[in-house]
Amino acid sequence: MPDMADAIVIKKLTKQYPIPRKTEFVNAVDNLDLTVGRGEIFGFLGANGAGKTTTIKILLGLIYPTQGDADVLGQPAGDLEIKRRIAYLPESPYFYEHMTAIEVVTFYAQLFGMKTEDAKKKAEELIDFVGLGGKGDRGKRIQDFSKGMRQRVGIAQTLINDPDLLFYDEPTSGLDAIARRDIRDLMLELKRQGKSMFLSSHQLEDVEAVCHRVSIIHKGKLQVLGTVEELLAGELVEVTLSGVTPGLGESIQQVAGDAQIEVNGTRTSVLMKNTPEAIGRLIDVARKAEANIVSIEPKRRTLEDLFVRVVGGKIDETGAVTAPVATNGTNGTGAASFDTPVPVAPLTTATPKASANKYKDLARK
Ligand SMILES: Nc1ncnc2c1ncn2[C@@H]1O[C@H](COP(=O)(O)OP(=O)(O)OP(=O)(O)O)[C@@H](O)[C@H]1O
Ligand SMILES: [Mg+2]
């Protein structure tokens, strides 16, 4: 029996593409293991060329993997029955430009085999849902739509078959702040409805706001996996000092352990764990060395910091994270984290059923 508890199960998935004029291959996806639970909104992040679209195309059955398995809703990717229960929003959806939003969605609904009347009714309902039902928008042709409006049509189109699982590729790219917030709210509503979503995005604040769990891939390999809370756990504080001598710099390193120290002209800022003890120790050594304390500012961790650390220059040729690596004792395959070690969810090859299932309950709350 296929496991109906999970929306997506990816096991040791690899996709190789030949490099032109060479006998070598590039691993667009490299031995990837992932499980997405039912009702889970799963963030799939990575720099340009990391392998996100390749993974999505394999899951949709549009291309075949070189090695490994990908199951979607309990069946191998590409299964025809399952295709009726999933939907895909490509990065730049294409529509017939001369049609209105309602006509486009009616047209797609008919492609799903709906009768004209039912298709029209469904289109009206979905166009209202995505906020294009207003008088001014109804008569407009797609060619006169803004990017945000097009994206809404795209979302309406993904909901025709009332799918269980949605694949959204960059739903908020190129949108202004208001349009982005609206699309984000739509995704939150879908989350509330209990849909599962595989969401690829470069808009890290959106990912932070809607996703249950987030992954970061780099050169086709999984580098980070955890809930947003786990990945951003631990308060930080930035203490800025002036008059820091080289000797004091060394003492700071000793008392603040894994702090990140940055020198900016006459000012030195120390980013470290926000605990009264750590701050107290730092102030003690600073006072002894007659340095001035300019400011003490709590800092929130963001996905952007984590992303930049994982993707930006801290990873060697083979794709292995050279630093920072969380010390979670998983034999070198630990999830990457901030330089300041924080508790990070271990990089598991498969989410235990129980924890995948909890998203279903979560979504329905
Ligand atoms: N059809 C193809 N033929 C050869 N190489 C390809 C093909 N499609 C993708 N690649 C390569 O595979 C790697 C991953 O590409 P992919 O499009 O999956 O990245 P991505 O994470 O979606 O990037 P982006 O954020 O830019 O959309 C890249 O090195 C890319 O050049
Ligand atoms: Mg892509």
Distance, in Å, from the CA atom of 352 to the CA atom of 44, rounded to the nearest integer, reads 19
Q: Are residues 59 and 167 in contact, defined by beta-carbon separation less than 8 angstroms? A: yes
User: Which ligand has its closest atom nearest to the C-alpha of 201?
Assistant: 1
- Residue owning the nearest CA to atom 31 of ligand 1: 49
Q: 77: closest CA among 159, 165, 162, 8?
A: 8
Q: How far apart are the CA of 163 and the centre of ligand 2, in A?
A: 22
The domains found in the chain, sorted by start residue, are: 6-85+163-231 (3.40.50.300), 236-299 (3.30.70.260)
pLDDT in single tens digits along all 365 residues of the chain: 444 679 999 999 999 999 889 889 999 999 999 999 999 999 999 999 999 999 999 999 999 999 999 999 999 999 999 999 999 999 878 889 999 999 999 999 999 899 999 999 999 999 999 999 998 898 899 999 998 999 999 999 999 999 999 999 999 888 889 889 999 999 999 999 999 999 999 888 899 999 999 999 999 999 999 998 888 877 889 999 998 888 888 888 888 777 888 888 889 999 888 888 889 999 999 999 899 999 999 888 888 888 888 887 554 444 444 433 332 333 333 333 333 333 333 333 333 333 444 444 444 44
User: ∠ CA(276), CA(278), CA(284), 5° rounding?
Assistant: 95
Q: How far apart are the CA of 87 and the centre of ligand 1, in A?
A: 21
User: Ligand 1 within 6 A of 54 CB?
Assistant: yes
Q: Are residues 44 and 199 in contact, defined by beta-carbon separation less than 8 angstroms? A: yes
* Long-range CB contact pairs, 345-351, < 8 A, 24+: 345/225, 345/226, 345/227, 345/230, 345/231, 347/222, 347/224, 347/225, 348/33, 348/225, 349/11, 349/33, 350/9, 350/11, 350/33, 350/35, 351/6, 351/35, 351/36, 351/37
Residue of 14, 21, 25, 52 best suited for mutating to test ligand 1, as the one with most atoms within 8 Å of CB = 52
- 3-state SS, residue 80: helix
User: Which ligand has its closest atom nearest to the C-alpha of 311?
Assistant: 1
Residue of 22, 44, 45, 53 best suited for mutating to test ligand 1, as the one with most atoms within 8 Å of CB = 53
User: Which ligand has its closest atom nearest to the C-alpha of 45?
Assistant: 1
Q: Are residues 237 and 272 in contact, defined by beta-carbon separation less than 8 angstroms? A: yes
User: Ligand 1 within 6 A of 53 CB?
Assistant: yes
